[in-house]
Amino acid sequence: MSHFDFSFYKKSADYVKDVIKDEPETALILGSGLGSFADEIENPVSISYSDIPNFLVSTAPSHEGRLIFGKIGNKKVICMSGRFHHYEGYSFKQLSIPIRLFKLLGVKRVILTNAAGGVNESYSPGDIMIIKDHIKLSSFSPLAGENIPEFGDRFFDVSDMYSSALRKTASEISKSCSLNFHEGVYMYFGGPQFETPAEIRMARLLGADAVGMSTVPEALTAAHCKMPVLGFSVITNMAAGVIPNSKITHEEVGEEAGKISEKFSEYIKKVIMSL
């Protein structure tokens, strides 16, 4: 048995269950600069990542490290404020931990948000992209290694992992939000460097609309255990080379995400309440 066996994940879940004593329906993982949504959760029970056995500790700037359970309206949610990335040194396998924790808590669906660079030239900073599919060129997978049948099958279908039903709801609700929405393809790059202009030209040729360094490992883990995913990219900047002579900075990413975070939080609340 490998180190990451079923009991490894169960140990984290048993601890959290014991603290929250309830069953969340929707889980959220919030990306760069979008952590303010966590403040919207009513009657919050907050757990520090470092208290959860077998959990990870987030090292990225602008990512907090708390798991928060509570309510949005009458809906029970659990939210990770601060996520983990491969560029922090975590393996894809380690990135399966939060999603499998959610699964074992009884979560029915997961909402993943990220900050991303716009590849599609009709996008602008401040726009939101509902993720309809992804491209990952590296062969890394959080499901590599011994399969754990309690979670899912060795080989599994991912053709509707970004659930078309959830996307339809998200798109309906976007009509009453003043932010600008698109539906598009997210392409995964490992980072931590931003992409080269040549990589972005390749991404566009391949059909990508936005690029980023997260979400895909979590979405794949969710697909394996048959949890539908609703993914959103906040376009914080145009990707490398799209605007001649401009440079991408982490500060710009955080600033742009911050500008829309209030409206986006309101929107996410409406989405959760409609589920």
User: In whole angstroms, what is the distance from residue 72 CA to residue 39 CA?
Assistant: 11
Least distance to ligand HPA from the beta carbon of 210, Å?
Answer: 8
Task: Supply the minimum distance, in Å, between the C-beta of residue 212 and ligand HPA.
Answer: 4
Distance CA 75, CA 270 (A): 11
In this structure, what are the phi and psi dihedrals at residue 164, rounded to the nearest 5 degrees? Answer: -65, -35
Q: How far apart are CA 265 and CA 128, in angstroms?
A: 12
Terminal Cα distance for the chain, rounded: 38
Q: Rounded CA gap, 213 and 92, in Å?
A: 12
Interaction of residue 185 with ligand HPA, rule CB under 6 A: no
Q: Nearest to ligand HPA by Cβ — which residue?
A: 117
Please tell me the distance from the alpha carbon of residue 133 to that of residue 29, in angstroms, as a whole number: 18
CA 178 to chain centre: 22
Residue 140 three-state SS: coil
Region 186-215 residues binding ligand HPA, contact defined as CB under 6 A: 189, 194-195, 211-213
CB closer to ligand HPA out of 102 and 194: 194
The total of other beta-carbon atoms located within 10 Å of residue 174's CB is: 20
222 binds ligand HPA (CB under 6 A): no
Question: Min. distance of Cβ 211 from ligand HPA in angstroms?
Answer: 5
Strands 42-48 and 109-118: unpaired
Q: Segment 33-62, which members bind ligand HPA (CB under 6 A)? A: none
What is the identity of the amino acid at 103? K
Query: What is the nearest approach in angstroms of ligand HPA to the Cβ of residue 104?
Result: 30
Question: Which lies closer to ligand HPA via its Cβ, residue 92 or residue 194?
Answer: 194
Active site residues: 32, 63, 85, 87-88, 115, 213-214, 237, 250
Q: Strand pairing of 42-48 and 66-72? A: antiparallel
| Cβ nearer to ligand HPA, comparing 195 with 218 | 195
The residue among 213 and 223 lying less far from ligand HPA, judged by its C-beta, is 213
Decide whether 113 or 221 has the Cβ nearer to ligand HPA. 113
Q: Map residues 83-122 to x or -, x wherever contact with ligand HPA holds by CB under 6 A.
A: --------------------------------xxx-----
CA-to-CA distance for 242 and 199, rounded, in angstroms? Answer: 11
- Does the protein bind ligand HPA through residue 253 (CB under 6 A)? yes
- Quick one: which of 99, 105, 248, 268 contacts ligand HPA (CB under 6 A)? 248
User: What are the phi and psi torsion angles at 197 (to 5°)?
Assistant: -55, -35
- Cross-strand partners of 44: none
- 82: β partners: none
- Quote the least distance from Cβ 228 to ligand HPA, whole Å: 24
Which of 78, 105, 239, 268 touches ligand HPA by CB under 6 A? 239
Q: Smallest gap, in angstroms, from Cβ of residue 254 to ligand HPA?
A: 9
Q: Which residues make up the interface to ligand HPA (CB under 6 A)? A: 115-117, 189, 194-195, 211-213, 236-237, 239, 248, 253
